[in-house]
Amino acid sequence: MRRWLCLLLLLVGCSPTSKEDFQYEGEAICRQLVEELKKVQSREELIKAAPKLKGRFNELVDLMIEARVYEQQHEEEFDVIPQASETSQQLLTELKRVYQLEAGRETIEKAQKEALLKLDAYEARRKKINSAR
């Protein structure tokens, strides 16, 4: 029991607690994605990297969902829409480059699929709850 309590406290202690924390965490995940994608120069390397990319996409969506929950609880902090960062632009550039590889688009979309389905399910639940109010 004590072990679970310590784990829970550790997880709660590591969770972002402000808009800036969410932005920082998101930037970090995007930087990791950029670094992973920069290593990919061929179809074979992309196939090898796909599981790691899938994990990063899932991390990013989990953070997005967590940020959305936080936003609903702290609406006053989220009055300005953030501008695309340099890291976001680098990620877009790397994704475009990797899309040009043989089966690149399909492989990336497959790696993103689980994360996007999770995000879509969350948004659908959120809309349903909001429309019921």
Domain annotation covers residue 4: no
Decide if 36 is inside a domain. Answer: yes
Mean pLDDT, residues 82-111 taken together: 93
Provide the domain count of the chain. Answer: 1
Q: What is the pLDDT of residues 13-44, one digit of tens each?
A: 456 778 888 889 999 999 999 999 999 999 99
pTM exceeds 0.75, yes or no: yes
User: Average pLDDT of the chain?
Assistant: 86
Q: Is residue 78 part of a domain?
A: yes
Whole-number CA gyration radius for the chain: 17
pLDDT given for residue 109 in this prediction: 97
Pair 47, 102: CB distance under 8 Å: no
Buried b / exposed e over 4-33, threshold 16 CB at 10 Å, is: eeeeeeeeeeeebeebeebeebbeebbebb
CA 52 to chain CA centroid, Å, is 13
Domain, as residue range, for 72 = 18-132
In this predicted model, what pLDDT tens digit does every residue of 50-65 receive, in sequence order? 999 999 999 999 999 9
**Rounded CA separation 124/133 (Å):** 15
Q: Give the CB-side neighbour count of residue 71, counting CA atoms within 13 A.
A: 14
> What is the pLDDT, as a whole number, of residue 17?
76
